Amino acid sequence: MEEQEKIESNINSIIMQCYSKGISEISTKKIINYVKNKYDFDIDENYLNEILSKNKNVNSVVEDKIILGTPEQAEEEDMDSELHDNAVDQATSDLQQMESVADALDKIETGYTFPSNKVKLDENDLYYHLHKGAVKNKKNYIVANVVPKKDLNESTVNCKIEGTSFFVEIPIQNFVKTVDKP
């Protein structure tokens, strides 16, 4: 019985030593061979797993690898990894949106004139009725300025209705979809 306790103690010491050095995984075969060579004692994987299950520095045993670390560390690493992935995804999305806005701005110049009937606005749009009047009277729009925002859904083009003092704000997305630059 004393020999088994000594073996368990040595295995746990090896685990603690590796853990304190920052080693994240150890081969179960190496531990089994170590015990065989040092103590001339054959242990099987089940017995090793039983010893390892009591060690607080062993997170899991996967195939022939002993994964070191506490469950809290593994959870924290998973969370850090997920946060990093989300941050990368958001940055990529933001960059793509900014590129879309930049592409749209590239097509629009102040003073550019185009027929109002080429723009489609939703009935919910604040300027829908002014727009319908411009279309009905076959008026052109003149680009006054562009108001870029973070993405295409928020960016707008302010246009003057030709021959009037009225301005309409057209979502840049509608402008880009319906008007081609000459």
pLDDT tens digits along 46-67: 888 888 888 888 888 888 888 8
Q: 131 phi and psi, to 5 degrees?
A: -65, -45
Mean pLDDT of 95-114: 65
pLDDT in tens, 135-156: 999 999 998 888 877 666 777 8
Place of tokens 């997305």: 173
* Location of structure tokens 């973070």: 150
Q: Which pTM was predicted?
A: 0.43
Joined tokens for residue 63: 């195939």
Contacts of 21 (CB under 8 A, 6+ apart): none
Q: State the average pLDDT over residues 96-119.
A: 70
CA dihedral 138, 174, 131, 136 (to 10 degrees): 30
Of the candidates 35, 24, 34, the one whose C-alpha atom is nearest the C-alpha of residue 66 is: 24
Kindly state the DSSP code that residue 117 receives in the 8-state scheme.
G
Burial of 52 (0-12, 13-18, 19+ CB in 10 A): buried
